Every structure is written in structure tokens, then in C-alpha cells.
Structure 1
Amino acid sequence: MDAAARRVATTTDAFFLASPGRAGGRRFCLLNAPADPRGTIVYVHPFAEEMNKSRRMAALQARAFAAAGHAVLQVDLFGCGDSSGDFGDAAWDDWIDDVQLASDWLVARFGSTPLLWGLRAGCLVALAAAERAGEPRTALFWQPAASGKTVLQQFLRLRTAAERLAGTSGGGVEDLRDRLAAGETIDVAGYRIAPELAAGLEAARLEPSSAVDRLAWLEIASGDHPALTPAGARAVDNWRAAGVEVDADAVSGPAFWQTTEIEVAPALIDASVRALGSARLAA
């Protein structure tokens, strides 16, 4: 039977979840699900503007997962998208709380522990949430960021680049990091980033952990013969050496999380559905 024949009817529901965490407020959620899902998934979006660039891909993938029989909950983290709060008031722990909130809701609704699906820096948040939960989880990492320090550094460079273009004499990245460490909130490319968020992000590492026992690692590459980046290949080897079952692959497509126009990567959607259907990742 082909993939199209296995597709099932699904529904899409938008709603808010009240957060009992430190930040409080409500989190916007979007649920794509069949009537009787055989597994559940929480999507953890990437950092800052990458979230907006990726919305289309996340929506398409969530629908594809639902059509393949899984309930998918997309949640806007505190201060992001349509959720309560301002990005500049977010702390790293707030985002970890939000992933746990989404996971708990899926467990209560469907009775199964969800797979954690992260994109870029969302992989770091997903891993931190798995470690806090204290039980092994299955994960799907899309173009994972190896460290939050690198994510933060690249983000701060947006400000220094803008200052150079404007001919202003702002400090460099290290100066901005020092200001964050001293307790100052920094404005970067239309986003305010607070010291608490910067500190948590900078400390985050995507290293092998007992909190993940099964993992699909997928990357986007250009050309007709896509391959994992050298850094990605080393990371996959490290996870396997730590005893984690890893399915790794690279597919052709655009870097949709950073392109000027909104783009999609159909090959990544197909590869993700295949990975979810494998013996190692199926719920």
C-alpha cells in the first residue's frame, strides 16, 4: 500500500493553554490529529525570526505527520508568536516549562508520551525539556544547532552588522555579551533579549544525553548528493557512541529558516515521515 493510501482523515484545532509556570499567561497551540492517533509529537520552534520563516514548513510537516497517524501539537513558546508575554521578558526556563506543558497536555489527552521534534535552537530547548522530565524520550532534530553559544553569537552579529551599515560606532559581539552578563537587555533586529534568556541559551549544548534513547537527525544540504555536514556527522557518531539509536540523513532543499522568501523543503517532509515510520522511532 502506498503512502497516499495510508493517509487518514485529520482535524486542526487552535486553542490556548494556561501556563502554571513562572511566566504565567497562555500559550497558543495548534493541534493536527487523526481521530485515533498511534503516537504524539510536540514541535519546538527555532529562535527569534527563524520561527516566522519556518512556520510554513512546520505546518506542512505537522499535517503530514497527522495524515500518517500522529497527533502533533505546535506551541508558541512564551513571548513568541501568539502566546502571552513579550520576547524580551522570556527566560530559558520559561521555554522549557512550555515544552513540558505541551507534553503533559498530550499525555492527558491521548495517553502517550510525545516525541520531541525540534528545529535549530528548538532542538536545544527540546533536549533541556527531556532532561528535566527525567525519562528517556524519542526525538526528531531538524538542522540542529550544536550549541546555544553559537546561536547567540550569530544573533548578536545581526546588531553589529546593522550598526556598521548605519555607520554607528557600537561595540562588537563580545561587548554585547558583556552587557547581557551585566544584566542589560539588548535590542537585536527587532527583538529584545533579556540576560536570563541569553544565559540559558549560551549554556545549552546538544550533547549525547540519557534523556534521549532514540533520535532522528535530519539536515538540509544543497546539490544532487546531499550529505551531513562534518560537524553533524561527528555529532551523530557521538550520540551513537553514547548508546543512542540514531537514524541520520541529509536531503536537498533550501535553508527555509533563513531565506528571504518563505520556502519549503518537500524532501525533508518526506524524510521525516519515513523516519517516524521506522521501527526505531514509531511510538
Structure 2
Amino acid sequence: MAAAAPPTPSSTPFFLDDGAGGQRLCVHYPAVLAAAAAPRGQILLLPPFAEEMNKSRRMIALAARAFAAAGVEVLTIDLLGCGDSSGDFGDAAWTRWSDDVRLAVGWLDARALPGTDGAKPPLWLWGLRAGALLAPAAFDLALDRPLHLLLWQPVTAGKLQLQQFMRLRVAADLIGGQAKGAVQAMRDQLARGEPVEIAGYLLAPALAEGLESAQLKPSPRVRRVAWLELSPREDATLTPAATMAVEAWTAQGAEVRAAVCQGPSFWAATEIEEAPRLIEASLAALTADADFATRPVEAVSA
């Protein structure tokens, strides 16, 4: 008799009330569990910036289902002005996005049930690209359980993300022959309190200022860090900047697992791309019980 197929992870979209008359679209993926089993943990997506989120939605959905199937409860959220959440992108501010993270963490924490040992499962903050910069919003919350980070190609300094975003406008102006002084002109406009239109997104001064000053620095609040990057090459290694960041987290006392997975930069690809090895390496980190700070060799090079 053939074995029964494993259950397919379900997903439920719903809106979270922000307490100020707005709503945030969330998608909940319950953990697939055996009878009487407790979830391995919970994970909250911290989404990437602007168009990178649209390019990443398929990978996020694939990964969320894989995580749920492995016994990890997942929550994804569209921040203020993004996706089907309240507001327009021009309404967004970094402080409001940080509030959204805390709102989502609170929702998950209220659902977290103790296991047989009486302890709540760990909470993972899943930072994709600039989403990693939103993780500190949860560091000071009073959570009586471990806090871990799952980082996908993390941006650790918002200034770099803002510069990259502004270059999209410069590229468009090059085509029109108006690129000279474009970045400074945008900065001057923002300094006057005026929003700037870039690649179809209206960037408000409050969001630009907050993004530029945002940083992800090692925190004693975080116990584990899974730092995963992508490269089209099979033999790629961490960049010097990433290596220094990993060393800083280790020095702070965190257990760190770092690896480069072979796959495309799906958040910036022209077509929608998938990177299955990144999901495999993430699963290896999420389900590790001991000896966490080891390279997930099979997931990376299989």
C-alpha cells in the first residue's frame, strides 16, 4: 500500500488592523504538524523594498509553503502603502513600517503555544534584502523566547539601498539626456519636504530619511543568524563585507550559519526566477536543533 502523500500547506489571507483605521494584508501559513506536535518555530517575513518585493513574491510563497511543511508557522505582511495594504507608497514612512513589524510580531506572539518543555518556540525574523533593516524594530520587544534571524542577501545599511533606488531614476534620465546632477536634485527635493517619483514609486521624505539611517547591527537579543546569499556561480564565497558582518555577529555571541547558494538574483531579475537551493539552505537552518553554526553543505552544493 502506497504511503499517504504529505498534506499540502494551506494559506489564509487576512487583514491586520493597525489601530489607526488602516489595514495590513497578511498571509498566514499554519505549520503542518503531526498529532500533538508543537511547531518548530514561527517566522515573520520582513519584505524587500519597492519593486524588489514584486519580483520576490513567488519565491516568498514557495519558501513559506516549504517552511510550513517543515513545521514552522509563517506570516507574511504587506507594509503600509505596499501590495493590498492601506495607503499608497507615498504615504509610507520608516517609523510606520517599523510599527507594522511590531504589529505582526504581536499577532504571532499571541498565537505562540508552549511546547512539551513549557517554552515557546523561537521566533525567526526573515529579512529579505532591505527587509533585514526592519529587524531591529523587534529587538526591544518583551518576548519570552529565543529570537533568530533568517537573512536572504541582506542589506545592512539603508544608505546603500537608497542609493541603488535613486539610480533607477538616473538610468531613466540617461535615456532622456537629463542625468547630470539627478541624484543631488532628488536629495534637494526631499530636503525641501517634497516627495520624489522613482520608477513609478512616490518616495516620501520620511521614508527616504528613515531608510538612509537604518542599519542592521549585531544585537545580544539575537541568538541565531542564518546569513544566506545567492550567486550564479557554484564556487562562490561570501563577500569581504558579508564575512566581516558574520564575524561581528559571532563576536556578539550569536550562533551564525553563513553560506552562498547557487541561484539567480530573483529580486532583480527581468523575469520571475526561482532559487530552490536558497530554500533548501533555509530549511536546514530553521530545522537545526544542535551544532547550528555549521555550513549546510548538502543544501548549498547538492
TM-score, structure 2 as length reference: 0.85
Residue 120 of structure 1 corresponds to which residue in structure 2? 129
Percent identical among aligned pairs is 53
Deviation of 1:245 after TM superposition, in Å, equals: 1.3
Give secondary structure in 1 for the equivalent of 2:90.
helix
Please report how far the alpha carbon of residue 38 of structure 1 lies from its aligned counterpart in structure 2 after TM superposition: 3.0
What CA deviation, in whole Å up to 9, does each residue of 1:80-106 have, x standing for no partner? Answer: 011011110101011111111111111
Kept after mapping to 1: 8 A contact 2:32/2:69:
no
**Is the aligned partner of 1:104 residue 2:106?**
yes
Secondary structure of 1:104 counterpart:
helix
Pairs within 5 Å for 1:6-85: 9-20=8-19, 24-34=21-31, 36=33, 37-85=39-87
Aligned residues of 2:44 and 2:126 also touching (Cα < 8 A): yes
What CA distance in whole angstroms lies between the structure 1 residues aligned with 2:226 and 2:6? Answer: 22
* Bigger Cα Rg: 2
1:91 matched residue in structure 2: 93
Q: Which stretch of the first structure deviates more once superposed, 171-180 or 100-109? A: 171-180
**TM superposition shift of 1:8:** 5.3
| Change in CA separation of 1:5 and 1:155 when aligned onto 2, cut-off 3 Å | farther
Alignment partner of 1:178 is 2:188: yes
SS in 1 for 2:101: helix
Letter in 2 for 1:40: Q
Any idea what SS the aligned residue of 1:108 has?
helix
Query: What is the CA-CA distance between 1:10 and the residue it aligns to?
Result: 2.7
8 A Cα contact 1:227 1:251, kept in partner: no
Alpha-carbon separation, structure 2, partners of 1:241 and 1:134: 24
Corresponding residue of 1:214: 224
Paired with 1:176 and 1:243, the residues of 2 have a C-alpha distance of 41
Question: Any stretches of 5+ residues in structure 1 without a counterpart?
Answer: none
**In 2, are the aligned partners of 1:8 and 1:69 still within 8 Å (CA)?**
no
RMSD between superposed Cα atoms in Å: 2.1
SS of 1:264's equivalent in the other structure is coil
What is the TM-score with the length of structure 1 in the denominator? 0.91
- AA at the equivalent of 1:228: L
Contact 1:17 1:27 in 2 (8 A): yes
Distance in 1 (alpha carbons) for counterparts of 2:252 and 2:214: 19
Deviation at 1:131, TM superposition (A): 2.8
CA contact (8 A) 1:89 1:194 kept: yes
